[in-house]
């Protein structure tokens, strides 16, 4: 079982190029099905979740080939619309294949998506929206049997601005007759990236990034070449690395406007951050200060995916910071592991109170989920001595090569 060994206490200096965004490339890979053609995806991150999405596409009859960081997907050979339970359980995002399959094939057979350690993650909003578009969905034995001889556009109002439901319904609406309007849609930058990809392929979608998205359905899409946006949560992770250890780093390709709530917190804590079109530079030379309460919320609010790494950076701050996790019920599983390293964090329901300590110590810790694992890496960089981090399969789901990137930023990290 591989582990990361991190020697803490080193001032970071260096630069790295931010990988493509996991939460953008996954819905884009599902959307490729709508083109019935070949798409070339540049700056595509090599992640375990991307491998899972490729396995689903191949199981449906598509092919996929890598050339450097370009992934070419050919969907002309798609001849099935069933995804096995084993493949569906690989990741939560497998659910976003439902909309494009219904749109292209008029049918889909799949089970509920894989569980995630973050608490209950229903897909009721996905299913009720697809039913309103005209799909018949029968649930039996954990399987979803879906039929749609014809999808028709309509007005959809989401009870929660769910990222996954917005993406699934955008994709289904592309194949529906007429116009679909999705209100209270998610506004995450990854939704805009999906719209831009689909527009490249001939779709007529407007409004991504706002709460109202309009899809003119029934257009024949085609293939194309698309460059995936940089991963804003990977950017947040490496900014927190410099904040936790002290450092002067440059993140090439990072875009600040997509994570302004995170950089605002890090500035408040004492980091000096400046950004331009080439990327983001971060300098941190002093011990961090505690900050105002951090409350996670749908975009443009503070991203739940950055909660753990920011908490890890503030574990050694001067003062106290209160966190409120409003998106997922069970997203503090990293806290016990941080406390093994000497952090002082008290959790009560959705609230966590971080009382900064002078010193963290290296320890053997275990990743509990993707962002929890990244938080342990951040804490280890600021800790005295060596930290051993196991459960790397979690981290590999969303970070192309954590050891490579942290080493480029001046850290001493070994993967064994
Ligand atoms: C996406 O998950 C991201 N994943 C998550 O990132 C991210 O944490 C989340 O959005 C919120 O920003 C991908 O994009 C692949 P949601 P998603 O539907 O789409 C509830 C990471 O670390 N809900 O916006 O699954 C749900 O339970 C991952 O990269 C319903 O109740 O999130 C949750 O409480 C983790 N019914 C809330 O809405 C539904 O039908 C937000 O979920 C759908 C969602």
Taking only the tens place, the pLDDT of each residue in 224-238 is: 999 999 999 999 999
Q: Is the peptide bond before 300 cis (omega within 30 degrees of 0)?
A: yes
Task: Give me ligand 1 centre to Cα 162, in Å.
Answer: 6
**In angstroms, rounded to a whole number, what is the distance separating the alpha carbons of residues 98 and 88?**
11
Residue owning the nearest CA to atom 4 of ligand 1: 23
Distance between start and end Cα atoms, the chain? 8
Taking only the tens place, the pLDDT of each residue in 172-216 is: 999 999 999 999 999 999 999 999 999 999 999 999 999 999 999
Q: Is there an atom of ligand 1 within 6 Å of 191 CB?
A: no
Measured from the CA of 24, which atom of ligand 1 is nearest? Answer: 14
**In angstroms, rounded to a whole number, what is the distance separating the alpha carbons of residues 158 and 93?**
18
Taking only the tens place, the pLDDT of each residue in 58-94 is: 999 999 999 999 999 999 999 999 999 999 999 989 9
Cα torsion angle, 288, 292, 293, 297, sign: negative
Q: Is there an atom of ligand 1 within 6 Å of 399 CB?
A: no
Angle value at C-alpha 91, between 169 and 117, nearest 5 degrees: 110
DSSP 388: E
Helix axes 163-174, 124-132, angle to 10 degrees: 20
Kind of pairing between the strands at 179-183 and 204-206: unpaired
CA-wise closest residue to 412 among 245, 279, 260: 245
Taking only the tens place, the pLDDT of each residue in 342-398 is: 999 999 999 999 999 999 999 999 999 999 999 999 999 999 999 999 999 999 999
Q: Is there an atom of ligand 1 within 6 Å of 342 CB?
A: no
Where b means 16+ CB within 10 Å and e means fewer, 293-302 reads ebbbebbeeb
Residue 12 φ/ψ, nearest 5 degrees:
-85, 135
pTM of this prediction exceeds 0.75: yes
Q: How many helices (H) and strands (E) does the chain have?
A: 14, 23
CA-wise closest residue to 99 among 31, 161, 22: 31
- Contact at 8 Å (CB) between 95 and 113? yes
Q: Is 226 helix (H, G, I), strand (E, B) or coil?
A: strand
Query: What are the beta bridge partners of residue 251?
Result: 16, 280
Could you tell me the pLDDT band of residue 113, with boundaries at 50, 70 and 90?
Answer: confident
Spatial neighbors of 348 by CB under 8 A, at least 6 apart, are: none
- Contact at 8 Å (CB) between 177 and 184? no
**In angstroms, rounded to a whole number, what is the distance separating the alpha carbons of residues 374 and 305?**
10
Averaged pLDDT of the chain = 97
Substitution candidate for ligand 1 out of 21, 23, 144, 229 with most atoms within 8 A of CB: 23
- Contact at 8 Å (CB) between 279 and 251? yes
Helix axes 98-105, 22-31, angle to 10 degrees: 20
Residue owning the nearest CA to atom 15 of ligand 1: 23
Residue owning the nearest CA to atom 13 of ligand 1: 23
């Amino acid at each position: 079982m591989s582990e990361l060994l991190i020697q803490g206490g080193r001032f970071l200096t260096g630069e790295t190029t931010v990988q493509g965004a996991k939460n953008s490339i996954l819905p884009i890979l599902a959307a490729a099905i709508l083109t019935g053609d070949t798409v070339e995806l540049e700056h595509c991150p090599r992640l375990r979740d991307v491998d899972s999405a490729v396995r689903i596409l191949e199981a449906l009859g598509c092919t996929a080939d890598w050339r450097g960081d370009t992934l070419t997907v050919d969907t002309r050979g798609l001849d099935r619309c069933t995804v096995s339970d084993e493949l569906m359980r690989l990741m939560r995002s497998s659910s976003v294949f439902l909309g494009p399959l219904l749109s292209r094939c008029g049918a889909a057979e799949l089970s509920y998506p894989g569980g995630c350690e973050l608490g209950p993650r229903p897909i009721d909003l996905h299913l009720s929206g697809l039913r309103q578009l005209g799909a018949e969905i029968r649930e039996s034995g954990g399987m979803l049997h879906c039929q749609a001889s014809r999808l028709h556009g309509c007005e959809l109002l989401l009870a929660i601005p769910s990222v996954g439901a917005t993406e699934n319904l955008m994709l289904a609406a592309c194949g529906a007759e007429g116009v679909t309007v999705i209100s209270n849609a998610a506004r995450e930058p990854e939704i805009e990236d999906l719209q831009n990809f689909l527009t490249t392929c001939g779709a007529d979608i407007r409004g991504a990034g706002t709460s109202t998205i309009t899809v003119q359905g029934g257009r024949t899409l085609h293939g194309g070449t698309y460059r995936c946006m940089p991963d804003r949560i990977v950017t947040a992770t490496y900014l927190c690395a410099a904040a936790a250890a002290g450092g002067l780093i440059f993140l090439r390709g990072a875009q600040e406007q997509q994570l302004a709530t995170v950089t605002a917190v890090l500035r408040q804590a004492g980091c000096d951050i400046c950004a331009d079109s080439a990327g983001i530079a971060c300098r941190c030379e002093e011990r961090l200060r505690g900050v105002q309460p951090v409350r996670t919320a749908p975009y443009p609010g503070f991203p739940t995916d950055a909660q753990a790494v920011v908490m890890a950076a503030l574990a050694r701050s001067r003062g106290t910071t209160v966190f409120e996790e409003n998106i997922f019920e069970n997203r503090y599983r990293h806290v016990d592991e941080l406390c093994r390293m000497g952090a002082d964090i008290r959790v009560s329901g959705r609230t966590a109170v971080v009382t900064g300590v002078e010193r963290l110590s290296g320890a053997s810790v275990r990743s509990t989920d993707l962002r929890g694992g990244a938080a342990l890496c951040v804490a280890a960089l600021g800790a005295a001595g060596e930290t051993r981090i196991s459960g790397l399969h979690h981290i590999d789901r969303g970070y192309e090569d954590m050891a490579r990137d942290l080493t480029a930023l001046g850290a001493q990290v070994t993967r064994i």
